[in-house]
Homo-oligomer: A and B are copies of this chain.
């Protein structure tokens, strides 16, 4: 079965904003054994959507349409579908009641524009929305299935899975194996896995992700990448670290300079992290390093804020303040300014203290400021992973 994806949204078609739904949808389809033939993005204009639906259905068996189901004037996807299929729109009574109740609880007027979010094509099956107000639906005509979803990624994703379940594409009959690694260069990973066939690689500040399309090669890839692998699914490093901390009943705190709170913020990204994350100090100024973390003035003078010694004293300061089992610290030059010939932009010292054991790592990473900061936060979190696994 061939799948087509149609994204509506003038902001995407005109390049003002990057669409991200299509790749989420494509992945979900792929995992269910469905081939994505194309992605088409058109404007929020009724006739454009109508025309796009018509030609798109000529090129696929299942069409996913996403966007334009909200309450504003440019949400015209329902009307366009109604014309494209020559099918009436009806209110879904159950959803209408649900919306009425939701809005009355919040003392918000239930306007006609808001009621439109309960409209679906006659003879369609509703897909309820667990995260938002717009109803989705599945519509079948001439052996072609159209799945209609809102544009908000979180809503659309879970509704697409519901729709596929409804259509019988429940089981993941094809799995892409994913190996998320940190600590190896792209070229190293590439040469390690290139003989295993049908793999592809994605590189970011978070590391190198290897996707293998054939399960036969998965065990070989596992073997060559070894301890560099931090996840076998789309888990983020902070989730992996969170699980380890929870398993071992350990607490964590940070003392950050260059990363500026990014490390602790990523730890807190994980729901339930209050069980193990005590907090952090962002000592961006030297004054804060001294006053709050107790870094010695002499240390800053003799070695500089970006030094092994400062990183060490930052660790000790955060340990004293939080009493956490594990403490992370970083100090560095994210750039673009602030570098010298001795201490170039990109230079970082990253420290980890596990109980009473301190280790400091020197890392030079030269990229855009916030790319570098993300990389350094990943480096720090990876140290926790390695220490605990």
Contact = CB atoms under 8 A, between A and B. Distances in A.
A284 to B, nearest CB: 4
B15 A24 contact: yes
A37 B48 contact: yes
A200 to B, nearest CB: 5
A186 B260 contact: no
A335 interface: yes
Nearest to A251: B285
Contacts of A268: 259-262, 282, 284, 373
A165 interface: no
B15 A36 contact: yes
A14 interface: yes
A223 interface: no
Contact of A186 (B39, B42, B70): B70
Interface stretch (A88-96, A269-277, A380-388): A269-277
A182 to B, nearest CB: 17
Nearest to A132: B367
A71 interface: yes
Given A15-B27, A259-B265, A282 B284 contact: no
Interface string A5-37: 000001111111110101111110110000111
Contact of A200 (B29, B44, B283): B44
A370 B238 CA distance: 13
Nearest to A10: B200
Contacts of A278: 284-285, 287-288
A15 B11 contact: no
A17 B282 contact: no
B322 A288 contact: yes
B13 A39 contact: yes
B277 A280 contact: no
B264 A260 contact: yes
Interface string A285-318: 1011001100000000000000000000000000
A261 B284 CA distance: 12
A154 B70 CA distance: 36
A282 B187 CA distance: 38
Given A12-B39, A41-B39, A261-B268, A190 B72 contact: yes
Interface in A50-105: 51-52, 55, 59, 70-74
Give the residue among A254, A263, A369, A373 with the most B Cβ atoms within 10 A. A369
Contact of A11 (B18, B59, B71, B211): B211
Contacts of A15: 22-27, 29-30, 36, 39
A88 to B, nearest CB: 26
A337 B274 CA distance: 10
Interface of A: 10-18, 20, 22-27, 29-30, 35-44, 48, 51-52, 55, 59, 70-74, 113-114, 131, 154, 176, 186-187, 190, 194, 200-202, 211, 253-254, 256, 259-265, 267-269, 271-274, 277-285, 287-288, 291-292, 321-323, 335-338, 368-371, 373
